[in-house]
Amino acid sequence: MLRDKGLMLRAGTVVDATLIAAPSSTKNAGGQRDPEMHQTKKGNQWHFGMKAHIGADAESGLVHTVRGTAANVNDVVQANSLLHGDETDAFGDAGYQGAHKRANAPPDVTWHVAMRPGKRAALDKSSPLGAMINEVERIKASIRAKVEHPFRVIKRQFGFNKVRYRGLKKNTAQLTTLFALSNLWMARSKLLEAQA
């Protein structure tokens, strides 16, 4: 429906992932945590749960692809599976370095991946080249920012901070529904305008 209304342009995709917590309690019949969930370290903190990987339209920020994996799966592993196939450009943060070199990378997609934060901080911004590279990184970041909105909607507006079920299959199905609803929530004003 969103595509038919012209809200998804399909020229570019922005990819990202977020951690969704899972109960670490062992107070159940089996006496163990969910075996399909894993723990991972982000920054200096450990998280137990799953990861929601999404591909969103670079223009509108509406989600077109959702994948659910264990939390310890690296972002770059899912990068090319988040593309719908019609795009010419793909954008990702520094965690997607090397996505274009992977075996399943489509040859006709140009990846625009962010520079690692340490390298960007070390740039000499007073030189013309350093200032130009910094400006290119700023533009890439402004495009990538759209992919954060669906995460905010499902976590803040819908209150989905922790998985509800055991296993990846059920939780990924729920995530797919939530991201579809987040598309409607984010496009609600344009849909109402089109209806009037």
pLDDT tens figures, 128-154? 999 999 999 999 999 999 999 999 999
- Residue 10 has a pLDDT of 67
Residue 142 counted as domain residue: yes
Residue 5 counted as domain residue: no
Q: Quote the percentage of the chain above a pLDDT of 90.
A: 61
The kind and range of the H/E element at 52 are: strand 45-57
pLDDT tens figures, 118-131? 898 898 889 999 99
- Residue 109 has a pLDDT of 92
Beta-strand pair 12-21/63-70? unpaired
Cβ pair 75, 17 in contact under 8 A: yes
pLDDT tens figures, 161-184? 999 898 899 999 999 999 999 999
Domain count, the chain: 1
Q: Residue 105: is its pLDDT beyond 90?
A: no
Q: In 3D, which of 185, 189, 162, 159 has the Cα closest to residue 52?
A: 162
Confidence bin at 156 (pLDDT 50/70/90):
very high
Mean pLDDT of the chain: 89
- Residue 168 has a pLDDT of 93
The average pLDDT across 80-103 equals 91
- In angstroms, the CA 137 to CA 118 distance is 13
The average pLDDT across 33-41 equals 87
Q: Residue 14: is its pLDDT beyond 90?
A: yes
Q: Residue 51: is its pLDDT beyond 90?
A: yes
pLDDT tens figures, 68-78? 999 999 999 99
Cβ pair 94, 61 in contact under 8 A: no
Confidence bin at 26 (pLDDT 50/70/90):
confident
Residue 175 counted as domain residue: yes
- Measured over all CA atoms, what is the biggest interatomic distance in the chain, rounded to whole angstroms? 64
Residue 2 counted as domain residue: no
The overall pTM is greater than 0.85: yes
Residue 33 counted as domain residue: yes
Task: Give residue for tokens 């793909």.
Answer: 90
Residue 44 counted as domain residue: yes
Q: Is 174 helix (H, G, I), strand (E, B) or coil?
A: helix
> Residue 79 is part of which domain span?
12-195
- Alpha carbon 65 to chain centroid distance? 9
- Residue 1 has a pLDDT of 62
Residue 77 counted as domain residue: yes
Residue 7 counted as domain residue: no
